[in-house]
Structure formats: C-alpha cells, structure tokens
Structure 1
C-alpha cells in the first residue's frame, strides 16, 4: 500500500469543490482512501489519524490545498491525483497556485468588478468565517454562511449587526437557500411560480427540512419563490431568533409572498412566539418537528404541525389547494413486504444523509416503537452506543462520519459501507434511506445505492424503504431515481414521514401504521 501527499501552495478552493476532488480520487480503482482539503489544523490532524506522515505537509497552512491518497501502488495514486485535479480545476479554467487576471482575490475586488452584487456565499474554515462575514455585511451584502464551527457568541454578534443593517445572515452551517428561485448551496430546482398556485416562502432552521418542504410544495403544484436558511441555532434561546424574525417580517411585507412556511426542530418557545408574531396578517404554517400542539399565544393566521408532511398539507389547506394522497398503495406494499419476512427480523436501521429527515424519523418511529438510538437523539438516554436489540437511526452527515470524507449527499460511499454491513444483520427487518437530489448532490445516487439494495433484498435480507427528496426539475431526474429504487425491490414513498411510518409498520408487522394522520 502506498501513501502520497501533495501540497498545492496558495490554492484555496471552496469546500464543495474540494469534495468533488475527493470523490473523483476515491472513484479510481485501487484507491483505499483519499481526500482533498485545505491544510487547516483539523484537516491535518485527520490525515495523521489516517496514517499519513506529517512530514508530507511540513509548513503547509490554511491557504494551501492538500491532496492525500492511499492506494495499491504509486501508479494508482498518481492516477487518483490526476483525477482529483481534473475535477477541481477543469471548471475554473486554471491550475493550482495560479489565477486568471480577471479572478478577484478579495471581496473588495469582487465588488468593484460586480457592483450590483447583493449576496455573498462564505465557505471558509470557521475560525475565519466571522471576519469574512463582517466584511460582506460592511459591503451591504446578505450572507449565506456555509461555514460551520462558528461560536454562538460570534453568531449572535454577526446577526445583531446584520439586523441593524436590514441584512440576512443565513447560517452558520446553512447548506441551502433559494432567493427569487436562484439556488444557493444544496438546493432543489422548483418550477416558476407563474405556472403554479400562489407563492410560498420557506424559512428554515433546518437544511434538509427546507428542501423537503420546498420540494413537496413544488410537487403539489404550489409556487415556491424563496427559501431562507437561518442556521440550526437561530431559534434557540442562546441566539434568540434574530434572523427568523427578520426573515418572516420581510416576507410578510413582500406583496409577492402569499404565505410562509416556517420549518424547525423544536425551538425555544419564547423565541418561536416572537418569530411567529412577525407574520402579521400573512398566513404562516409552523412545522416544528416533534413539538405537538398549538400555543394559545399564536396569532389566528398561524397553524402548527409537528412534521414536515403535516406542515405542507396544512399549507395546502390554507391555500385552498388540493393535497396529494401521500399513502396511495403504501399499505399494500408493506403487506407484501412483511409476508415472507423472518420473525426475528424486527429492528429498524435508518441510514440518513439529511439531519432534519433523521430527526423527523426519530419522532415518528418513537411514537410507534419506543426508544430509538441515534447520534442525534431526541432524548439523551437514547444516544450511542446502542444496546443489542435496539432500533437505530444514524445521521451520516454529522461530523463523526464526515471527518476526512465527503458528505453522503455528495458521495454515497459511507452509506454503502453501513448499508452493506446492515444487510448482513439477521435481526434487522427494515433499512430506512433518504436520497437527496438537487444542486450539489451526487449526480446519480441511485446508480450507486440501488444495485446494493437489490442485492440485499434478493438474498432475503432486510426490506428497504427509500424516500427520494427532489423535484421534477432536479438534474438527477426525480422519477428516474424513484424508478431505479422501485426496480431494485425497495418501497419508495412520497414523503420522508411516510417512509418512517412504513419502516415502523414493517418492524411491528402492522401495515395500518402507514396511514396514520399527520
């Protein structure tokens, strides 16, 4: 086995571009492990943990790009590095360590050359994110702050400044946004509101929750013009909801916004009240995952739901729009799936790429099955490691699974490893998968995952329930992805919530569960 490390000095690439290089290198036959990453202390520590010699990056700093490959031999390692470079630099039209004359090196230069800009997308290591965000705000720009590892104190300070200027700071850790149908980060392509009913804006402290809500609305024929990500902490007591309030207030004043859908994991109750109050006379549905019941202080224009599907259906009712049948044929599919399932196969394993979808599944599964263990548990008692015989849902997008490797939305390798191992477990009755389409995601996830699903099901392994999150306009092909999983023998559902209920129904052999009202 050969390990090779190459440092490309003074070469900064966005994290999404780095991930494309990592994926290209790992796709080369004979490569055991590879990564393309900026030479931050954390990333270099990951390389050391993976057996690379620190001498290979002596003197490298956060502005340098590191390519690291462990492969069968030097020839394979060289081929992997070539593949990584091609993936990362071909679209730029330049090479490492060089820049075209027209490529600005600072935010100020970029604004000089493109003075009409209104939004800055910031994706730098967390230590540098507050300074870059401050510069963007000083330039009068809204900010999509993709970076994570930003302290709560810095988040509060940045958002206070933004509110004073009437600007949005979407993040930190905001992976998705859509402003006037312009996609930023991981985002799904929605149809033109002019061809659909009404115009809804989604405000979300939950990345894949925002994508799920926007996609379901679009597939139901409702126009979605804006998706504003807040960052997962915005509605907590520590941050206080400044962006939530500003976003809802701004959208309520927008004559082109007919209604607002707010998506969040359970927020601080007082913070939520403050955000909901900003809607004024504009209809607002709050899909607060896992938070049951209404609040007596809610304005009459506000409707609450505890699931994403429930929130979307409530929005459709508010708009007088017909709702899709989200359970059509599902009960029969579950009945067929459990017919020959061995009695000992009773456990659920969720292998998620979307954190919000994992959290919603935990809420629904625990209502039907009792405790479900997770790396993002609902209750501190039900974390990991899980005891023998426990139901488990994993968010494979969390840091412990993505350290040194691409996010599972971009590269399904990590899920393939877990899926293969889970398929061998004789106590597992059903595997629950989400597949997220759209800009930034893997170009054809079914091509990687569906064959393994077919193999597992074909040899009498656990049943597999798949939810494909996307729209008809997404580049991967929504119906094509769904069809591939269906042909592999998977149960393919219309919403993430129904996928969780289908998994619960298989585990307890009660097909009626899939028709639970939400």
Structure 2
C-alpha cells in the first residue's frame, strides 16, 4: 500500500465540484482511499484522519489544490491524475460557450447593468466578496456558510444602510424575477411572494403553489439564522417592506423554523399594519395573536400553499378556469393520498410481525422537522438529530433508535462531503442500513428535484431500493414500506413524471407533500398499534 500526492499551488477549484470528483476517483480500481480538494484546515484534518498526511500537504494554504490517494500500487497514481485531468477538461468543454468573468470587476465591466450577486465561496473569502458586491450596490445572495454571527450582522446592517438585500449567509433558495437560484424549482410566475428562512420549505411551498394553478412573484431567501435574536430578522423585515410595495405581489408567505419570540413579535407588529394578506408558517411554533384579519397561520407546508392559492384567487377577478384547475389539483392530491393509504395498509399485511418502527431519512432539514412535528402531534415518540425535546435527541445520529427522523444534511454528515441533495451517497448508505433492520416497518423520505439538486435523485433512491432488495435474504415483500414525498415540477431539469415512475417501479409509494407522506406513515404505524 502506498500514499501518493499531487499538488498545484495557487489553483482554485469549487469545493462541491471537487467532492464530486473524489466520488468518481473512489471507483478507480486499486484506489483504497482518495481526497481531492483545496488546502483548507478542514481538508487537512480530513487527510490526517484518513492517515494520508504528507509534509507537502501539511504546508498547503487554502488557495492550493491537491490530490492525495492511498493506493495498492505506485503506478495507479498516474491513472488517478489522468482521470482527474479528463474530468476537469470535460467540465471546461461544457462551459466553453459561457462567458465566465474571473472577478466581480470584470463581470461589471462586461455588463454594467448587473445588480445582483450570487456568492458561493469558502466562508473566509465569501465575506470579503459579499462586502465588495454591496459596496458596488449589488443585492447579494450568499450561499456560503461557516460565517460568524458577528460578520452576518455586519454585512446585513451594511446592506440595509445602502438599501440592498443581503440574503444569507447559508441562503440556499431563491427565485428572483422568475429566475431560480441555487436550490430552486422552475415554477410559474404569479402574484404570491415568498420570504423564507428555510430552503426546502420554500421549495415545497412554491412547487405546490404551481401544482395548484398559481405562481410566484418573488421568492426571497433570508438565511437560516435571520430570525434568531442576534440577527433580529433584518432581511425578512426588509423583504416584507419590499414585497409590500411590489404591485405584482398580492399575497405574501412567510416561512421559517421557530423564530425567537422577540423577532416573531416584531414581525407580527409589522403585519398588523399590512395592507396585504399574509400566510405565516413558522414551523413547529405557536401562532401569536395578530389583530390584523389579513394574517393567516398555517401548520404545514401543504396547508401554507393551499391557503396562499385560495387567497390569491380571491384577490383577483374570479377566473373560472383557474378555480377549476385549483379544485381539480386539490381533489387529485386527496385521491392520491387515499389510494396511497389503502396500498400501504395492504402492504402491512405481508410484513413480518416484528416490524414496528418508522425511520425518516431527509435531505431537507425543514422537511424532517415538519414530519417529526406531525408524528409527535399524533402521539408518536420520535427521536431525531434536530434540536427540540432533549429526551428525544439521538445519542448518535449515525444510528437510529425506535421511531426516528434524521436530517442527513446536518453538519455531522456533510463534514468534508457534499450535501445529500447534491450527492446522495450519504442517504443511499443509510437507506440500505435501515432496510436491513428487521424492526423497521416504514421508511419516509423526501426527493427534491430542481436546480442545484442531483441530476437524478429519484433514480438514486430507486437503484438503492432495488440493490437492497437483491441483497436481502428474506422474501422481497418483507422489506419495509417506502413512502416518498417528491418535490418538483414538470419544468424542472429532472423529469418529474419519469422520477415518479422510477420510484413506483422500485416499490415506493409516492405523494406530493411532506404532510401527505407523514400522514400515510402515521396511518401505517397506527394500523399495527405502534406509537
């Protein structure tokens, strides 16, 4: 066994892309372990933990590129480097027609009309670039995380002072003037505005609004910490003020995990003076008394979308065709759920008696939280790696216990690895593990389509299910029931219809909202008397 490394000084590549290359190189015959990355402290820690540290890598800085591999024979390193060069060249060819300015200044020189910057860089560089963009009067969407609260406050206050929006850090979803950014879906334009501190929450609501025949004016992300006491809801408050003035927005939807009480109170006071209808879903949080009759509280993402569409339809001249489309879509959703429950109960009769627990394997943290809250509301004790009741925190997020909902996008799983929405291997591995657990009755999952997501997330789930069934020693129909909530539209880069067919052919029950999927799971567990 040998450890070999190759280094390129002052050569920067996107970290997510390098993680994908690592996954490809891992498949090379004779490679025991490999890491392709930049010389950040985190990556050097990972190299060390894999027992591949060399003096050359130890001396690298964050702008230096490296490949290090544990290999069976020395000559295999040549195969590895050739494969990496080939993958890099393929990416360059795919981007050859795109104009890619090297700096913010050159981008503005190329197009002086630019007024928005999307930034995705390591945290230490992202702060500097975000400030530069704000100084040049650009609104900023900061996808990057690992940025301190102090720096977030500094950036947001600076943006506010200049009358600009600072979306993020850790802002993963937006649709601005009809253009999906980062993790977002291709949805119809309409008169419903969304302001969200939750990426996957906003995705599900926007997709359901589209399915119900309505559309989105703007979807503004705030970053996950915006409604914490320290930040004070700076971006959400600015976004509310902006959409209040927007003539194309008639209904405004607010989405967040539970905000701090002080920030929630500040926002509710604003809504009391609003002229527009609001739908508020602060997931898992109690609604406060709001004197304004135009503010409506929803308790699931599904209900949020339905309520927003109903209000949107009332706010415009009645259109019989639009009303009929919405009514038909709601009826189809109900019929799909009824059919799914009947199918699931039929499957339960074929399972062995010892199966009794549910497992939720989510790529979206907000979706996991909603599922957990719905199940707990029905009397189930659900363990999780999400914050909440300390009695039900998993002692080890890598091992489920009894009924469990796991957010696989949590830092404990993604340290040095791509988010499972981008590269699903984290969940694939966990899914096989849960299927092999003879105590597991039903597995609940999300499948998020759209820009930013894996090119075929449904295919990944289906392939894993088929692989797991082949490996099982017991009868095929004795594997756990699989319930999947799919988030996507027919206009997304992935094919929604084909995705549904792939999942159903692999034996999964497929529905269109987290709430629907969770209700089905609750019915399944109820049918065997477990909670």
Could you state the TM-score of these two structures normalised by the residue count of structure 2? 0.88
Q: Deviations over 1:383-427 (max 9, x none)?
A: 122698521221111111112222111111111111111111111
Q: Report the counterpart of residue 194 of structure 2 in structure 1.
A: 202
Please tell me whether the aligned partners of residues 350 and 358 of structure 1 are also in contact (alpha carbons under 8 angstroms). Answer: yes
Answering whether residue 494 of structure 2 is matched by residue 490 of structure 1, we say no
Please tell me whether the aligned partners of residues 180 and 226 of structure 1 are also in contact (alpha carbons under 8 angstroms). Answer: yes
- Cα 1:304–1:71 change in 2 (3 A) is farther
Deviation at 1:369, TM superposition (A): 4.4
Q: Report the counterpart of residue 516 of structure 1 in structure 2.
A: none
Out of 130, 138, 141, the position equivalent to 1:141 is 138
Where does the alignment leave 5 or more consecutive residues of structure 2 unmatched? 314-322, 470-475
Q: Secondary structure at the match of 1:92?
A: helix
Structure 2 distance, partners of 1:224, 1:33, is 45
Deviation at 1:30, TM superposition (A): 5.8
Out of 456, 468, 484, the position equivalent to 1:466 is 484
Out of 165, 177, 184, the position equivalent to 1:180 is 177
Q: Report the counterpart of residue 121 of structure 1 in structure 2.
A: 118
Please tell me whether the aligned partners of residues 281 and 301 of structure 2 are also in contact (alpha carbons under 8 angstroms). Answer: yes
- Cα 1:81–1:410 change in 2 (3 A) is farther
- Cα 1:242–1:347 change in 2 (3 A) is same
Out of 225, 228, 232, the position equivalent to 2:224 is 232
Answering whether residue 43 of structure 2 is matched by residue 43 of structure 1, we say yes
Map 1:46-57 → 2, pairs under 5 A: 46-57=46-57
* Segment of structure 1 superposing worse, 364-373 or 348-357: 364-373
Answering whether residue 457 of structure 2 is matched by residue 445 of structure 1, we say yes
Q: Report the counterpart of residue 8 of structure 1 in structure 2.
A: 8
Map 1:368-379 → 2, pairs under 5 A: 368-379=378-389
Structure 1 distance, partners of 2:477, 2:105, is 60
Deviation at 1:263, TM superposition (A): 1.0
Please tell me whether the aligned partners of residues 273 and 297 of structure 1 are also in contact (alpha carbons under 8 angstroms). Answer: no
Could you state the TM-score of these two structures normalised by the residue count of structure 1? 0.90
Please tell me whether the aligned partners of residues 277 and 298 of structure 1 are also in contact (alpha carbons under 8 angstroms). Answer: no
Structure 1 distance, partners of 2:245, 2:256, is 22
Structure 1 distance, partners of 2:86, 2:212, is 40
Q: Report the counterpart of residue 288 of structure 2 in structure 1.
A: 295
Structure 2 distance, partners of 1:148, 1:351, is 23
Structure 1 distance, partners of 2:80, 2:460, is 19
Map 1:239-258 → 2, pairs under 5 A: 239-258=231-250
- Cα 1:318–1:34 change in 2 (3 A) is farther
Please tell me whether the aligned partners of residues 133 and 143 of structure 1 are also in contact (alpha carbons under 8 angstroms). Answer: yes
Please tell me whether the aligned partners of residues 346 and 508 of structure 1 are also in contact (alpha carbons under 8 angstroms). Answer: no
Deviation at 1:68, TM superposition (A): 3.6
Please tell me whether the aligned partners of residues 5 and 67 of structure 1 are also in contact (alpha carbons under 8 angstroms). Answer: yes
Please tell me whether the aligned partners of residues 408 and 414 of structure 1 are also in contact (alpha carbons under 8 angstroms). Answer: yes
Where does the alignment leave 5 or more consecutive residues of structure 1 unmatched? 514-518
* Segment of structure 1 superposing worse, 236-245 or 219-228: 219-228
Structure 2 distance, partners of 1:144, 1:107, is 14
* Segment of structure 1 superposing worse, 66-75 or 224-233: 66-75
Deviation at 1:336, TM superposition (A): 1.4
Deviation at 1:78, TM superposition (A): 4.6
Map 1:304-453 → 2, pairs under 5 A: 304-320=297-313, 321=323, 322-323=326-327, 324-325=330-331, 326-328=333-335, 329-385=339-395, 390-453=402-465
CA-atom RMSD in angstroms: 2.7
Q: Secondary structure at the match of 2:230?
A: coil
Out of 276, 290, 293, the position equivalent to 1:282 is 276
Q: Secondary structure at the match of 1:319?
A: helix
- Cα 1:164–1:402 change in 2 (3 A) is same
Q: Secondary structure at the match of 1:128?
A: helix
Map 1:155-170 → 2, pairs under 5 A: 155-170=152-167
- Cα 1:462–1:88 change in 2 (3 A) is same
Q: Secondary structure at the match of 2:37?
A: strand
* Segment of structure 1 superposing worse, 322-331 or 137-146: 322-331
